[in-house]
Chain A
Amino acid sequence: MRTINVSVNGKPYSHEVEPRMLLTHYLREVIGLTGTHMGCETSLCGACTIEMDGKAVKSCTIFAVQADGASILTVEGLAAADGKLHPIQEAYWNEHALQCGFCTPGMIMITKQILERNPNPSEHEIREGLDGNLCRCTGYQHIVNAVKAAAKATV
C-alpha cells in the first residue's frame, strides 16, 4: 500500500491505495465520485476522461499512485457551487447531445480541453478532437453541435 495525496475538484484527499488500483476506481469507489464512467477499460472509449493537472487523460489507463500530488478535475467539478451548469454542460443539454448519457462525462471533459486549446474550432477539428471518445447512441452530430454551441458560449 502507498499513501497518495490528491486534490479532486478543489478538495484535498489522502488515502492508502494498492499500486495497481486504477485512477477511475479510486475516484469512483474510494472518493465516491461516480460521474467518471468506466466503459471499455482499454483506453479506447474515453468515458473515463478526467483532467489531471490541466490535461485531459483517460483515468482507466493511469494508476492512482501516478496521480500522487496531482490536481484532478472530474465532471462533478464543472458546475458552480450553486448548481449552475458549466457552459459546456448547458450546451450539451440544449443541443440534446446525449441519449443514454454513458459517454457524456468523458465527452464533456474532452470538449473542455478541445476548447481550451482552440476556442473556435472547425467542424473537422472538433471531430478530430473527439477521436478518443466513443458514443454508441447519437451518431455524434448533436455532440459536434454541442461543442460548436459551447465554443460560441465561452468565446
Chain B
Amino acid sequence: MIANSFEYSAPGSLKEALALVADGAKPLAGGMSLIPMMKLRLANPEHLVDIGRLAELNYIREENGSIHIGASVTHYDIETSPLLMGKCPLLAETASYIGDIQVRNRGTLGGSVAHADPSADYPAALQALEAQIVLTSAEETRTISAEEFFVDTFTTALEEGEIVTEIIVPIDAGLTGTSYQKFLQPASGFAIVGVAARVRQAEGKFSMVRVGVTGLSGNSYRATRVEAALDGKDANDENIRAAAALVASGQDSSSDLHASAEYRAHLAVAYAARALRSALSRSA
C-alpha cells in the first residue's frame, strides 16, 4: 500500500517546524498512527513536517515537583525511564502495554496523544494523573488539562497551527499507589477497555482517588462517580466493588465486533475494580 504523494520537511528546530505547521503542514512524529492511515489513504496530508527527530522535544526531566516529557519521547523510553518508573510509575506501566516492541520503539507520547484514538492506552493514565498538555503554535504556548484536551473520538483541543510539545505529570507524595489494567484486543493490542487508577490512603481511608478510562466509549474520561463514591471511605474491597460498579454509568458504551456495549460496560466494572485493588495494594 502506497500513500498519496506528499512533500516532506525535516527541519532542524521546533521554530522552523511550527512555521511549516502554521502554513498547513501536518506533523509526523513516530508515524505509528499516521503512516498506516496514509497508506489506507484515510489521511492524505500534502506536506509532512518531521518532528520525530527534534532533540528539543526529546526529554524527560523533573521540574518543580512535576515530570515534564517532550512530545517526541518514545513509548520505549517512557516504559524504561528510571525517573518515571520511580516517580510516576503509572505512565511507565501504561507505556509497557502499548502495541509491541517495534511500535514502542518508534511511537511517541505526543503523537499518540494528538491522535486521540478512543482505544489508546495513554489517555486513561493521563486522565487519572490529571496531566497537563502543552500546546505550541508559532505564536503562543498554552497548557490545558488532559480532561479538556481529549474532546472526542480522534478529536482534541488542538487548534490549527498547534502541536503537542510537552506532557506534564505529577509526582505523588504520601501513600499513593497506581495501576493500569487493560483488556486488550489480541490482534491489534488496543484496549477494549483500559482503566487507570491512582489512589492515596491516609489512616486506612481513601484520601484521593482518580480513575481514568479508555476504550469504553468514544472518548477517554475521568470516572468521577467512582472517585466520589470512594472519597473518604474505608480503603477496603467492599467499597471498591461498590464504587467500580459506577464506572460506566452516564457513558455511551461503544459496540463493535470485538465487544458489545453491554460487555464493554461489564469489562469496565471488572477492570475498574482490578485497577483500584491493585493501586491500593501498591499504596501502602
Q: Interface on A for B, CB 8 Å cutoff?
A: 2, 18-20, 22, 41-44, 46, 49, 55-58, 61-63, 65-66, 68, 110, 113-114, 129, 131-133
Which B residues between 1 and 44 are near A, CB-CB below 8 angstroms? 1-8, 10, 28, 31-32, 35-36, 38-39
A68 touches B6 (CB 8 A): no
B2 touches A55 (CB 8 A): no
A132 touches B35 (CB 8 A): no
Interface membership of B218, Cβ < 8 A: no
Task: Select from chain A the residue with minimum beta-carbon distance to B8.
Answer: A19
CB-CB under 8 A from B100, the residues of chain A are 46, 131-133
**B contact residues, range:** 20 to 34
B39 touches A41 (CB 8 A): yes
Q: Interface on B for A, CB 8 Å cutoff?
A: 1-8, 10, 28, 31-32, 35-36, 38-39, 48, 50, 52-53, 76, 99-103, 105-106, 187-189
CB-CB under 8 A from A129, the residues of chain B are 101
A66 touches B101 (CB 8 A): no
How far apart sit A133 and B35, CA to CA, in the bound complex (Å)? 19
CB-CB under 8 A from B7, the residues of chain A are 19
CB-CB under 8 A from A19, the residues of chain B are 5-8, 48
Given contact pairs A61-B35, A65-B8, A46 touches B102 in the complex (Cβ within 8 A): yes
CB-CB under 8 A from B35, the residues of chain A are 43, 61-63
A-B contact count (CB 8 A): 76
- Pick the most buried of A2, A63, A68: most chain B CB atoms within 10 A of its CB: A63
Can you list 30 A-B contacts (CB < 8 A)? A2-B8, A18-B5, A19-B5, A19-B7, A19-B48, A20-B2, A20-B4, A20-B5, A20-B6, A43-B32, A44-B187, A46-B100, A46-B102, A55-B76, A55-B106, A56-B105, A57-B102, A58-B103, A58-B106, A61-B32, A61-B106, A62-B35, A63-B8, A65-B50, A66-B31, A110-B101, A113-B105, A131-B101, A132-B100, A132-B101
How far apart sit A20 and B8, CA to CA, in the bound complex (Å)? 9
Of B38, B50, B105, the contact of A66 (CB 8 Å cutoff): B50
Kindly provide the distance from the CB of B75 to the nearest chain A CB, expressed in whole angstroms: 11
A65 touches B10 (CB 8 A): yes
Of A20, A41, A113, the contact of B101 (CB 8 Å cutoff): A113
B102 touches A58 (CB 8 A): yes
CB-CB under 8 A from B5, the residues of chain A are 18-20
CB-CB under 8 A from B189, the residues of chain A are 131
CB-CB under 8 A from B32, the residues of chain A are 43, 61
Closest 5 CB pairs of A and B: A132-B100, A19-B8, A55-B105, A131-B100, A20-B3
How far apart sit A18 and B5, CA to CA, in the bound complex (Å)? 8
B102 touches A56 (CB 8 A): yes
How far apart sit A154 and B260, CA to CA, in the bound complex (Å)? 47
CB-CB under 8 A from B28, the residues of chain A are 66
Task: Select from chain A the residue with minimum beta-carbon distance to B188.
Answer: A44
B99 touches A57 (CB 8 A): no
How far apart sit A136 and B175, CA to CA, in the bound complex (Å)? 48
Task: Select from chain B the residue with minimum beta-carbon distance to A18.
Answer: B5
How far apart sit A68 and B39, CA to CA, in the bound complex (Å)? 20
CB-CB under 8 A from B53, the residues of chain A are 66
Task: Select from chain A the residue with minimum beta-carbon distance to B48.
Answer: A19
